[in-house]
Amino acid sequence: MDTVRLYIRSMGMLLRSHLQYPASFVMQTLAQLVMEAGEMMVVILVVDRFEKLKGWTGGNLFFFFGLMSVSFYITEFFGRGITGDFPSMVRTGKLDTILLRPRGVLTQVLCSGMDPRRITCIAVGTVALIMGSRMSGVEWSALKVLALIESIGMSCLLILGLFMIESIFCIHSVKSVELVNAITYGGRSACQYPIDIYPTPLKVMFTVLAPFALTLHVPAAWILGKPLYGWPIWTVFVTPLSGAAVFFIMTALFHRGMRYYRSTGS
Amino acid sequence: MRAYFTVFKMRLRMELQYRGAMIGGIACQVFFGLILVALYRALYEGKPQAIPIEHVATYVWLQQSFFRMLVASDPDLLDKIRSGDISYDMCRPVDMYGFYYVRIMAQKLMGSLMRGIPMLVFAALLPKGWGIVLPNSVPGLLAGVMALVIGLLCMCALENITMAFTMRTLDPRGIQAMLNLLMVTFSGNLLPLTLFPDSWQKVIKVLPYSQLLDAPIRLYTGEYPVSEAFKIITIQLLWTLVLGAFGMYLWGRNKKRMIVQGG
């Protein structure tokens, strides 16, 4: 509980510090809005030209896009320490000061960064979600809301876990490894569309290695009334847990990696 | 002239140094390309379009290969603007605009060739419908290459305009993000311009952004017949001149009212 309080207080502090430069903050937040709106425009244009994608209607596609975008940007909003700042912490030796303090390394890394500019991206994602659910005629029930919340929460853990791969590499190699972007940003690009449209290798990759399909597509497809592969309803609540599994595995590896951490000394 | 050429050569060598980053970059770019092609293939299964899927795949690969041409920017210049070191450049006996124009050109050229050629080889090895197709005709290929060169010139002029705005605002993130979005959207990187709504095409085709990569690609695949090549290259040249002149004007004004940050 103590950790949670510490995290919440850090977030409050970081938010206040970001708001110290209101003009710059507003500019950058608007820039984020434009970027994400651009991403959404692509989906709209695709739907405009192709109408549907292997049995998924335009509304369905907006729903998938919105779900991915909300999950991804919530992670970047609250997990900036891992998703963005960690490589520079290693390179500059800022991580050393963290090691001196009587709290967990991961907790402190997560407490040290947030990216409130992403709020507009989350807003765009939410709009897409609402649009998608309206256009697909989803009838919401308590169970569906629960599935949606679980899906977003677990996807956030999954994305955080995937970004931690980069951190783990970084502990060993100091330099950040861009190749990992293929799985994080590549995962976002690929999995904002439902998994079953892709050929088998990509399906395997995003079901087993980076299980976006399990955390996002299985619940979303069920909410839209078109269960993925016709899987039974219990899978909707069980498969997203793979997100938490990835997160815990990566946490363990992260702590293992920290044992080999050598300061850059500057 | 010799000074500019030397700057260009130095920068080319510099860009060759980062081979490790290059391999990671290529792998990433290839993966994105595969995802995009897979997506368009799935879309085509539902509703085939007038443009064959092979051309869309070719479009994607050419875009991915020359992606560096769009996004590479001069990080040194940004630092110089922020730290005020740009004042040293004013002491150089060469024109600042030209100096940075050739630097950025070397960076974009080498960056995209080093990444582009291995990627094109990879794309050529992929099965039909996934990879890149051969150019429509030999003249089409030549026209495409020529258009690509002019596209590069046009791109550097655009980049210098962005930089001129950065010099004004000092904070590159706001305005640059907007200009970058315009660029990745209307140059066909996010979605091939050939798949934009037909009613938009007329406008999009004459925007400066479509001169960078879209025009060369369309000449390559034969969407633009070779007979039109002359017209297209004229449009490209026109834009290059206009953007170059506008950039020079902005840089000239910036030089007069430059406030150097810090010491």
Backbone angles phi and psi of B47, in degrees to 5 = -150, 90
- d(CA B192, CA B46) in angstroms, rounded, equals 18
Could B35 and A178 be called an inter-chain contact, meaning their C-beta atoms sit closer than 8 Å? no
- d(CA B141, CA A11) in angstroms, rounded, equals 55
Q: Which residue of B has its CA nearest to A45?
A: B196
Q: Which 8-state DSSP code applies to residue B47?
A: S
Average pLDDT, chain B: 83
Distances (CA, A) of B80 to A58, B84, B90, B103, B156: 47, 6, 12, 14, 18
Q: Is B93 on the interface with A (CB under 8 A)?
A: no
Task: Give the pLDDT score at B2.
Answer: 81
Q: Which residues on chain B are in Cβ contact (under 8 Å) with A49? A: 47, 49, 195, 197
The complex's ipTM?
0.86
Closest CA to B118 of B178, B66, B72: B66
Task: Give the pLDDT score at A62.
Answer: 92
| CB-based contact B156:B104 (threshold 8 Å) | yes
Task: Give the pLDDT score at A20.
Answer: 85
Q: Which 8-state DSSP code applies to residue B90?
A: T
Could A197 and B178 be called an inter-chain contact, meaning their C-beta atoms sit closer than 8 Å? no
Q: Which residue of B has its CA nearest to A196?
A: B42
- Which of A52, A57, A179 would you mutate first to test chain B, the one with the most B CBs within 10 A? A179
- d(CA B64, CA B61) in angstroms, rounded, equals 5
Q: For residue range B98-135, what is the model confidence (pLDDT) as tens digits?
A: 888 888 888 888 888 888 888 889 988 888 888 888 88
Give the range with max mean pLDDT: B147-161, B182-196, B197-211, B247-261: B147-161
What's the pLDDT band for B224 if we cut at 50, 70, 90? confident
Closest CA to B220 of B66, B103, B99, B73: B66
Could A189 and B27 be called an inter-chain contact, meaning their C-beta atoms sit closer than 8 Å? no
| CB-based contact A4:A78 (threshold 8 Å) | no
Task: Give the pLDDT score at B110.
Answer: 84
B261 has pLDDT over 70: no
Rounded to 5 degrees, what angle do the CA atoms B251, B256, B260 make?
90
Question: Where do we find the tokens 């040290």?
Answer: A112
Q: Which residues on chain B are in Cβ contact (under 8 Å) with A48? A: 197
| CB-based contact A240:A155 (threshold 8 Å) | yes
Per-domain residue ranges for chain B? 2-256
Task: For residue B234, give how far its alpha carbon lies from the nearest alpha carbon of chain A (Å).
Answer: 30
Q: Which residues on chain A are in Cβ contact (under 8 Å) with B35? A: 186, 189-190, 198, 202
Task: Give the pLDDT score at B203.
Answer: 87
Element (H, E) at B32: helix B19-46
Task: For residue A35, give how far its alpha carbon lies from the nearest alpha carbon of chain B (Å).
Answer: 6
Lowest mean pLDDT among A62-66, B59-63, B66-70: B66-70
Per-domain residue ranges for chain A? 2-259
Task: Give the pLDDT score at A246.
Answer: 93
Q: Which 8-state DSSP code applies to residue A81?
A: I
One digit per residue, the tens of pLDDT, for chain A of length 266 reads 788 888 889 889 988 888 888 877 888 888 888 888 888 998 998 888 888 888 888 889 999 999 999 999 999 998 888 888 888 888 888 888 888 888 888 888 888 888 888 899 999 999 999 999 999 888 888 999 999 999 999 999 999 999 998 888 888 876 666 777 888 888 888 899 998 888 888 899 899 888 999 999 999 999 988 888 888 888 888 899 999 999 999 999 999 988 888 877 65
- What HEC string does chain B produce? CHHHHHHHHHHHHHHHCCHHHHHHHHHHHHHHHHHHHHHHHHHHHHCCCCCCHHHHHHHHHHHHHCHHHHHCCCHHHHHHHHHCCHHHHCCCCCCHHHHHHHHHHHHHHHHHHHHHHHHHHHHHHCCCCCCCCCCCCHHHHHHHHHHHHHHHHHHHHHHHHHHHHHHHHCCHHHHHHHHHHHHHHHCCCCCCHHHCCHHHHHHHHHCHHHHCCHHHHHHHHCCCCHHHHHHHHHHHHHHHHHHHHHHHHHHHHHHHCCCCCCC
Q: Which 8-state DSSP code applies to residue A12?
A: H
What's the pLDDT band for B204 if we cut at 50, 70, 90? confident
Q: Which residue of A has its CA nearest to B186?
A: A38
What's the pLDDT band for B79 if we cut at 50, 70, 90? confident
Express as a percent the part of chain B with pLDDT over 70: 95
B263 has pLDDT over 60: no
Q: Is B138 on the interface with A (CB under 8 A)?
A: no
| CB-based contact B116:B198 (threshold 8 Å) | no
